[in-house]
Amino acid sequence: MGHGIAQVAAQFGRYDVTIRDIEQKFIDNGLNMIRESLQRFLKKGQTSEAEMNEILTRIHPTLDLKSAVSNADLIIEAVPENSDLKKPLLREADGYAPPHAIIVTNTSSISITELASATKRPEKFCGMHFFNPPQLMKLVEIVKGAKTTDETTQTVLEAAQRMGKETVLVKKDCPGFIVNRVLTPALNEAAALYWEEVAERDDIDKAIKLGLNWPMGPLMLIDYIGADTTLAIAEVLQKELDPKFHPNTGLKQMVKAQLLGRKTGKGFYDWTQK
């Protein structure tokens, strides 16, 4: 998600963007994916080569968190869906960031109020949930925490809209927000249908695409999102809301086997073949 958000901010928002990761190989991979994405825009005639090069000059990679955030106005955290990873990073970024900076999290389901508590600026903290891939998906959920001010919310709404996004405001911090609270149970049930051998993979995806007019089937969507991320969201919903959200055993087995979808090459589909 990080590379896609960086691209959207630089391409459509025309912001200067610093991307930071923990290893150079991750940064290199992210920059390569940004270049590949921009090449697709170029081939479709949606950008020019000069514009593409200009976008790339606005993206600055670094391994150093302090240099990444010390002059930032808006800090977007997009690490994996695990509060034990997010909280220490948010705490460290908060210590380096200027007082006026707003910090947002791209979490899919974790409590905004909980993550904000890792910082000393909960009033300048909210959720900014992009959808995958950020370069193409128009929606951003803006989620208020218990202490998020209206001024912070408005600033983040305007930043998202400058990036060309449609926004919805989640007024109350709740697990899964709007989309994932509705979507995750549907994805979980699709995985259950597959592992219970009720129907073949392609028929499950075909049924939902044609019957519910989804642009892609639920099993393919799990592969795009990542089985690990889907599982993490389901577990948050189960823990925070109701046992009825318990994730399917087959989905858990896929995560244990690292059959996560596109990110590992195989999930419900084989992504190693073009």
Count of domains forming the chain: 2
- Candidate list 77, 111, 129, 188, residue with the active-site label: 129
**Whole-angstrom Cα distance, residue 90 to residue 119?**
6
248 an active-site residue? no
Q: What is the CB neighbour count within 10 angstroms for residue 235?
A: 17
Kindly report the backbone phi and psi dihedral angles of residue 260, in degrees, each rounded to the nearest multiple of 5, phi listed first.
-95, -10
Name which of 180, 185, 154 is nearest 169 in CA terms. Answer: 154
- Are 17 and 50 in the same domain? yes
CATH number at residue 94: 3.40.50.720
60 an active-site residue? no
- Are 161 and 65 in the same domain? yes
pTM: 0.86
- Are 70 and 44 in the same domain? yes
- Section 43-55 average pLDDT: 93
- Are 90 and 188 in the same domain? no
pLDDT digits (tens, 9 = 90+) for 55-72: 999 999 999 999 999 999
pLDDT digits (tens, 9 = 90+) for 219-229: 999 999 999 99
Say what the pLDDT of residue 228 is.
Answer: 94
* Largest interatomic CA distance in the chain: 55
- Are 127 and 242 in the same domain? no
- Section 130-153 average pLDDT: 95
Q: Tell whether 237 is covered by a domain.
A: yes
Q: How confident is the model at residue 257 (pLDDT cuts 50, 70, 90)?
A: very high
- Are 158 and 211 in the same domain? no
**Whole-angstrom Cα distance, residue 127 to residue 116?**
9
Q: Tell whether 267 is covered by a domain.
A: no
117 an active-site residue? no
- Section 12-25 average pLDDT: 96
Is the distance from CB of 174 to CB of 181 less than 8 angstroms?
Answer: yes
Say what the pLDDT of residue 140 is.
Answer: 97
Q: What angle do CA 122, 123, 127 make, to 5 degrees?
A: 70
Distances (CA, A) of 269 to 103, 205, 206, 229, 237: 36, 11, 14, 17, 26
Say what the pLDDT of residue 251 is.
Answer: 96
* pLDDT at 109 exceeding the cut of 90: no
Q: Tell whether 266 is covered by a domain.
A: no
For 82-150, give the DSSP string: -HHHHHHHHHHHHHHS-TT-EEEE--SSS-HHHHHTTSS-GGGEEEEEE-SSTTT--EEEEEE-TT--H
Q: Tell whether 274 is covered by a domain.
A: no
- Are 141 and 208 in the same domain? no
Domain that holds residue 73: 2-170
- Are 146 and 192 in the same domain? no
Q: Which two tokens stand for residue 8?
A: 């959207």
**Whole-angstrom Cα distance, residue 271 to residue 258?**
13
100 an active-site residue? no
Q: Tell whether 26 is covered by a domain.
A: yes
- Candidate list 37, 180, 188, 248, residue with the active-site label: 180
- Candidate list 108, 109, 111, 248, residue with the active-site label: 108
Q: Tell whether 268 is covered by a domain.
A: no
CATH number at residue 189: 1.10.1040.10
* pLDDT at 274 exceeding the cut of 80: no
